[in-house]
Chain A
């Protein structure tokens, strides 16, 4: 039974890690600009994510180490510091984007500017971590997160051309604007394959005291949980494609995106969109803050654990506190939340190899993965995709900045 409850760990990793502001933004923009052509990066990203999450869980179950701990163990501080520093910088931008998303959801409902909501959102998230056990993030977030099912309802109701949707599952040549197309591919991959999920998931597995008997449920969770998230992202794209593409709307702000479900579902569509945006972003904020705290504490050998009393794990608590204290300011300064989102997703894609290639090396080392080292398919799919994502990102980010899509 406890193992089935672990399924919620998978779902929450998925909701907070998947249907957060990056996925909502990139899937919406992809649908509005290219109709159903860009479903394939969502599928590809989801497959890679399934592999990565399964590997993180397997590492924790077999070696009782978290990803971060194992990284420092295996590679030493001199190399570990590179992914640690790179990820911390990029993840800060992602966190700022999530705060922007949650703040904007509150603007949608109240009319009060998102700039006023950024600090309260960060404070609220901090309070949930300060007072709440890991189960708060593990159980309650997915429960509230079920509101995101509205995207599936909306997509079905909008009755798109399902054969066109099916065609979108495989890569096709962009119908126009090649640079923008590939930039969106980068965005989607960066939004989907978020390294912080691995740190979060493996830490949750270690706190849950997984052992080798969890290997099967781990696979089950990874596939089911991440597929659920992938399906939601596809639903967002489909809805956006059905509503914005024929109308010729270029999405430049969350206020436009918020209209996505109103045609099909009336005012329910509006409020449930806002609720989904809020809970998805809040889940992501909690996961990211914890992931950075895990990464730092485990890498430096400090005591850590969301289920511990704060007094027992002071430096761990300090990390997420400091991070959440710094998080809201880009948004308060009035930088466009959508712009921060886009940049953070693209930078994530650009830095994927830094975080993930060492991890793949680790997962092929029997010292850490025991008898359960990676199969060749996992290795090939993951390495190929992240190298492609990196190259694409490096090429398209400057293009996007210079040419403006």
Chain B
């Protein structure tokens, strides 16, 4: 499996078939003499902002660390939770109950719910 092409930036779907972000980064294990193994999928936090070039990346990461709901810490999904790798990646996670939708819930609770007629 070509890791970058098949996994990075792909859409994640949770156990209830809901969107839960994209794979913004991966962590891998590279045991000596063996094939590299993916250990976790990373979503959000500074994983994405650090991919931006130069000062834009540093500045964006600083903003996310300061003001982000999870303070820049990405949501991690262990490789064992991956159910299916296809055009989209389905994982055995309930995105609403785990911390995955933290910023989405924050926007919902602090902004959307405050608008009249929500």
Contacts and interface: CB of A to CB of B under 8 A. Distances in A.
- Direct contact between A and B judged by beta carbons closer than 8 A: yes
Interface of A: 63-65, 69, 72-73, 76-78, 80-81, 130-131, 300-304, 310-311, 314-315, 317-318, 321
Interface string B19-59: 11110100000000000000000010000100111000000
A310 B18 contact: no
B111 A302 contact: no
B11 A69 contact: yes
A77 B9 contact: yes
A63 B87 CA distance: 9
Contact of B9 (A73, A130, A131, A314): A73
Interface residues of B, number: 29
A143 B105 CA distance: 37
A311 B107 contact: no
A76 B111 contact: no
Given A131-B117, A311-B108, A314-B108, A302 B8 contact: no
B104 A302 contact: yes
Interface of B: 4, 8-12, 18-22, 24, 43, 48, 51-53, 87, 103-105, 107-108, 111-113, 115, 117-118
Contacts of A80: 9
Instruction: Classify the secondary structure of A's interface with B.
Output: helix
Contacts of B52: 78, 81
B112 A317 contact: yes
A321 B115 CA distance: 11
A131 B117 CA distance: 8
Given A301-B22, A302-B21, A318 B51 contact: no
Candidate in B19, B43, B113 with the most chain A CB atoms within 10 angstroms: B19
B118 A311 contact: yes
A301 B87 contact: no
Contacts of A81: 52
A301 B21 contact: yes
A302 B95 CA distance: 12
Candidate in A76, A301, A303 with the most chain B CB atoms within 10 angstroms: A301
